[in-house]
C-alpha cells in the first residue's frame, strides 16, 4: 500500500483549455480595439466620416418663389407667373439600376419594379417614345434634362413613380394674358427670371420674391429616406405691382395711334392719357408695341415706352408755358393788344408764321389760338432770358418725371448763358429745347389742376403675398402758377378750340381746351439739319372742371405738314375716356376770348 507524504499533487491543465483561453483573450482584445475604433468613428467622428457620409446623402431642392403679378388699376392681370417643372435625371445612378422598390398604396405592399418598366411608365406620362426616354436616362451625366415645362399635376404623378435618379425642378414661367396691350410698359424677362424691360425691370426686386430650399436624404438606391433629415425653408413669394393704367383705355389708345401712324406712314406715334386731379397715368400707348410673350418679334427700338424715352423739340405746345409766364409775371394778359407784322425782327433775328398774313391786331389769346411765332416772341421777349429759363424749369422741362420706367429721357434745356442770339427766342415756342411727351403732359396737368403740378404716377401700389396693399407715395405737389393764372391760360386754350384754329378737337357735349405743336425732327444719321416733322396735339377736358389730359404725337408723318392734323385722334380718345369714367357733360358757358382786336 502506497504511503501518502502529505504534499498536494498539481492537476495538469489540458493543452486544449489553454489554447481556448488564449484565443478568447485575443478575441476580447480585438473587440476592444474594434469597439474603440468604432466609438472614435461613430461616437466622436474625429475624422468627420459620419458627417461626410450624411452630406453625400443630403439632396437640396430649390423651391422657386412665385413672381408677383402686374395688374392694372381695375385688377386686370397684365403679367403673372405659373409654376412649372423640369424633369431631370442623374444618368449615372439610373443607368446602374436594374430594378428598384416602390410602395403600392393600393395594395399596401412594396413592389419590385424593373428599370424597363419604370422607363415605360415615364414615357407614357410624358407622352413620349420609350426609346427616346431611355436614351435621356442612360449615360454618364450626373445631371440631364428629360422634359421641360411640366404642369404640377403631371409632375406629381411622375414623382410618385420613384424612379432612381429622376427628380423634378420647379421653375416659374411668366405669362402675359393681354399680349401687346401695354407691352412696353409691362416689359418682359430675360431667361425667364430677371426683368429686362418696363415694370418687370424697374420693379424686379419687388416682384421676384425669395427662393426657398428643401433638404432631404437619398439612399444608395436613389430613393428618399422617409424618417431621415427633412429641412424646409419656405419660399417667399413676390409682391404684386398695381399700375394706374386702365387696360381698356390703353387698348383703345393703342389702336387709335396705330391707325393714325399707318394712315400717314409715320415713323412712330404715342398717346398719353393722364388724370389731371391725381397725376395717374391712364394710358401710355405706343405703336408697334411688343408682346412680352415674344418680344423678339418687334425691333429693339420699339420695345420701350417712347412717351418717356423719346425727347424731341415740342414746337408750339410750349407756347402755353410762355403765356402762363407772362401772365404770372404781370407782363401781359389774355386780352392784351399786340400789333403783329407779317414778320418780326428782334436783335437781328427774324421770325415768321406758318401762314401768310399782313399786319394784324391780335390778343394774346389770338396769338396762341392761331399759333403765331411772331406774337409769341413779342410777348415772351418781355421776360428776361433768366426768367424764360426759370419758367421752363418751373414747368418741369429738363427734369425727369421719375415715373418708374427705364431709360427715361431728361430732355435738353441749356442754361440761358449758353443760348445763342436766336435760341433765346425760339425756346419761347418750343424750338432749341427738347423734352418727352410725358414732360409736356405734366406741364399741362398743372394748368388743368389750378396751377398745382403733381408727379405723374404709373405705379399705384404694392400688394404683398398676404394681400396687404401699400400705396406708392408721390413727390409733394408744387404750385407752379396761381389759380387765377391757371384759369386765364385755360380760357386761352379753350378759345383756341372755340374761336381759333383747333376746332377739330371739339367734342359734342364737353368743353375742350387744346394746343397743337409742330417742330422739325433732327436727321437720324446724326448729320446737321432736319428730316421731317414732329406733329402733336395736347388738350384737356371738360374745361368747366378739367379731369383728363390727352396728348397725341406723330414722328415724321409723310405728306405736307400743313395738311396733317391729330384732331380726330385726340377727339376720339378723349371722348372714350370721358365716357369710360362717366364724366358728366359740361354745363358752363365755353370761353370765347376774342382773337383779334377790333
In SS3 terms, 155-173 reads as HHHHHCCCCCCEEEEEEEE
Which among 186, 190, 179 is positioned nearest to 203, based on CA atoms? Answer: 186
Distances (CA, A) of 10 to 7, 13, 74: 9, 9, 111
Cell of 252: 383703345
Which among 113, 111, 124, 125 is positioned nearest to 156, based on CA atoms? Answer: 125
Query: What residues are paired with 281 via a beta bridge?
Result: 274
**pLDDT at residue 9, rounded to an integer:** 46
167 assigned to active site: no
> What is d(CA 100, CA 34) in angstroms, rounded to the nearest whole number?
34
Residue in 81, 239, 316, 536 annotated catalytic: 316
Pairing of strands 240-243, 268-275: unpaired
Distances (CA, A) of 348 to 425, 428, 553: 11, 17, 33
Phi, psi of 269 (to 5 degrees): -150, 155
Which among 473, 471, 307 is positioned nearest to 405, based on CA atoms? Answer: 307
Distances (CA, A) of 451 to 35, 64, 511: 90, 49, 19
**pLDDT at residue 6, rounded to an integer:** 47
**pLDDT at residue 387, rounded to an integer:** 98
> What is the 3-class SS of 374-441, one letter each residue?
HHHHHHHCCCCHHHHHHHHHHCCCCCCCCCCCCCCCCCECCCHHHCCCCHHHHHHHCCCCEEEHHHHH
> What is d(CA 290, CA 259) in angstroms, rounded to the nearest whole number?
16
Distances (CA, A) of 114 to 83, 96, 99, 100: 31, 12, 4, 6
Which among 522, 582, 531, 474 is positioned nearest to 313, based on CA atoms? Answer: 522
Each of the 598 residues of the chain gets a pLDDT tens digit; together they read: 444 444 444 445 566 677 777 777 777 777 776 666 666 655 555 555 555 555 556 667 677 788 999 999 999 999 999 888 999 999 999 999 889 998 888 888 889 999 999 999 999 999 999 999 999 999 999 999 999 999 989 998 999 899 999 999 888 789 999 999 999 999 999 887 899 999 999 999 999 988 888 776 666 555 555 555 567 788 889 999 999 999 999 999 999 999 999 999 999 999 999 999 999 999 999 999 999 999 999 999 999 999 999 999 999 999 999 999 999 999 999 999 999 999 999 999 999 999 999 999 999 999 999 999 999 999 999 999 999 999 999 999 999 999 999 999 999 999 999 999 999 999 999 999 999 999 999 999 999 999 999 999 999 999 999 999 999 999 999 999 999 999 999 999 999 999 999 999 999 999 999 999 999 988 777 777 788 999 999 999 999 999 999 999 999 999 887 778 999 999 999 999 999 999 999 999 999 999 999 8
Q: Cβ of 279: how many Cβ atoms within 10 Å?
A: 26
Pairing of strands 343-346, 349-352: antiparallel
First-to-final CA distance of the chain: 178
Q: Are 542 and 583 in contact (CB under 8 A)?
A: yes
Query: What residues are paired with 101 via a beta bridge?
Result: 112
Distances (CA, A) of 195 to 179, 186, 240: 17, 10, 14
> What is d(CA 432, CA 42) in angstroms, rounded to the nearest whole number?
82
> What is d(CA 80, CA 173) in angstroms, rounded to the nearest whole number?
8
Pairing of strands 70-71, 240-243: parallel
> What is d(CA 506, CA 589) in angstroms, rounded to the nearest whole number?
14
pTM of structure: 0.83
Distances (CA, A) of 250 to 26, 193, 278, 293, 322: 92, 26, 18, 18, 31
> What is d(CA 362, CA 582) in angstroms, rounded to the nearest whole number?
38
> What is d(CA 516, CA 507) in angstroms, rounded to the nearest whole number?
16
Give the list of residues 6+ apart from residue 316 with CB closer than 8 angstroms, or none.
371, 373, 429, 430, 515, 516, 517, 518
Task: Mark 330-342 as b/e (b = at least 16 C-beta within 10 Å).
Answer: eebebebebebee
Cell of 75: 385688377
> What is d(CA 439, CA 250) in angstroms, rounded to the nearest whole number?
19
Q: Are 316 and 514 in contact (CB under 8 A)?
A: no
Cell of 110: 412594396
Task: Mark 57-66 as b/e (b = at least 16 C-beta within 10 Å).
Answer: eeeeeeebbb
**pLDDT at residue 306, rounded to an integer:** 98
> What is the 3-class SS of 281-310, one letter each residue?
EEEEEECCCCCCCCHHHCCHHHCCCHHHHC
Angle, in degrees to the nearest 10, between helices 115-126 and 152-159: 170
**pLDDT at residue 105, rounded to an integer:** 82
Amino acid at each position: 500500500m502506497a504511503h501518502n507524504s502529505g504534499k498536494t499533487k498539481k492537476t495538469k491543465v489540458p493543452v486544449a483549455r489553454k489554447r481556448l483561453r488564449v484565443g478568447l483573450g485575443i478575441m476580447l482584445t480585438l473587440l476592444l480595439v474594434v469597439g474603440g475604433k468604432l466609438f472614435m468613428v461613430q461616437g466622436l467622428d474625429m475624422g468627420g466620416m459620419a458627417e461626410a457620409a450624411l452630406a453625400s446623402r443630403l439632396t437640396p431642392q430649390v423651391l422657386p418663389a412665385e413672381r408677383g403679378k402686374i395688374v392694372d388699376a381695375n385688377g386686370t392681370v397684365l403679367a403673372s407667373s405659373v409654376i412649372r417643372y423640369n424633369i431631370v435625371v442623374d444618368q449615372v445612378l439610373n443607368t446602374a439600376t436594374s430594378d428598384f422598390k416602390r410602395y403600392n398604396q393600393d395594395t399596401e405592399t412594396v413592389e419590385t419594379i424593373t428599370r424597363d418598366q419604370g422607363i415605360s411608365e415615364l414615357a407614357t406620362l410624358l407622352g413620349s417614345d420609350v426609346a427616346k426616354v431611355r436614351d435621356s436616362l442612360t449615360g454618364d451625366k450626373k445631371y440631364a434634362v428629360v422634359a421641360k415645362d411640366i404642369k404640377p399635376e403631371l409632375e406629381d404623378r411622375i414623382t410618385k413613380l420613384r424612379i432612381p435618379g429622376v427628380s423634378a425642378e420647379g421653375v416659374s414661367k411668366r405669362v402675359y394674358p393681354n399680349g401687346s396691350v401695354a407691352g412696353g410698359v409691362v416689359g418682359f424677362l430675360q431667361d425667364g427670371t430677371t426683368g429686362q424691360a418696363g415694370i418687370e425691370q424697374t420693379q424686379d426686386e419687388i416682384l421676384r420674391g425669395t427662393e426657398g430650399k428643401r433638404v432631404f436624404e437619398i439612399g444608395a438606391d436613389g430613393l428618399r429616406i422617409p424618417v431621415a433629415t427633412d429641412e424646409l425653408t419656405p419660399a417667399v413669394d413676390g409682391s404684386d405691382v398695381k399700375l394706374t393704367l386702365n387696360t381698356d383705355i390703353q387698348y383703345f389708345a393703342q389702336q387709335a395711334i396705330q391707325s393714325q401712324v399707318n394712315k400717314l406712314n409715320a415713323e412712330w406715334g404715342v398717346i398719353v392719357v393722364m388724370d389731371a386731379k391725381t397725376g395717374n397715368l391712364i394710358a401710355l400707348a405706343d405703336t408697334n408695341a411688343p408682346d412680352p410673350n415674344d418680344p423678339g418679334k418687334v425691333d429693339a427700338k420699339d420695345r420701350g415706352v417712347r412717351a418717356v424715352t423719346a425727347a424731341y423739340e415740342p414746337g408750339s405746345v410750349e407756347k402755353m408755358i410762355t403765356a402762363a409766364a407772362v401772365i404770372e409775371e404781370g407782363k401781359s394778359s389774355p386780352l392784351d393788344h399786340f400789333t403783329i407784322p407779317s414778320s418780326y425782327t428782334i436783335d437781328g433775328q427774324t421770325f415768321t408764321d406758318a401762314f401768310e398774313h399782313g399786319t394784324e391786331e391780335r390778343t394774346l389769346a389770338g396769338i396762341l389760338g392761331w399759333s403765331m411765332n411772331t406774337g409769341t416772341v413779342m410777348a415772351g421777349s418781355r421776360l428776361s432770358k433768366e426768367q424764360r429759363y426759370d419758367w421752363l424749369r418751373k414747368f418741369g422741362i429738363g427734369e425727369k418725371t421719375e415715373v418708374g420706367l427705364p431709360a427715361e429721357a431728361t430732355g435738353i434745356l441749356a442754361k440761358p448763358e449758353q443760348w445763342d442770339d436766336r435760341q433765346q427766342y425760339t425756346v419761347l415756342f418750343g424750338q432749341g429745347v427738347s423734352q418727352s411727351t410725358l414732360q409736356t403732359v405734366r406741364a399741362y396737368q398743372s394748368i388743368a389742376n389750378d396751377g398745382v403740378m403733381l408727379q405723374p404716377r404709373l405705379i399705384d401700389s404694392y400688394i404683398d403675398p398676404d394681400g396687404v396693399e401699400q400705396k406708392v407715395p408721390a413727390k409733394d405737389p408744387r404750385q407752379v402758377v396761381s389759380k387765377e393764372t391757371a384759369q386765364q391760360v385755360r380760357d386761352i386754350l379753350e378759345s383756341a378750340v372755340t374761336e381759333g384754329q383747333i376746332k377739330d378737337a371739339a367734342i359734342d357735349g364737353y368743353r375742350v381746351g387744346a394746343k397743337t405743336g409742330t417742330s422739325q425732327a433732327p436727321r437720324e444719321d446724326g448729320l446737321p439739319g432736319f428730316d421731317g416733322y414732329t406733329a402733336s396735339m395736347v388738350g384737356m377736358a371738360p374745361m368747366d372742371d378739367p379731369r383728363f389730359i390727352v396728348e397725341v404725337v406723330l414722328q415724321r408723318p409723310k405728306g405736307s405738314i400743313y395738311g396733317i392734323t391729330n384732331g380726330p385722334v385726340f377727339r376720339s380718345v378723349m371722348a372714350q375716356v370721358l365716357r369710360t369714367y362717366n364724366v358728366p357733360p359740361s354745363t358752363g358757358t365755353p370761353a370765347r376770348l376774342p382773337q383779334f382786336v377790333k
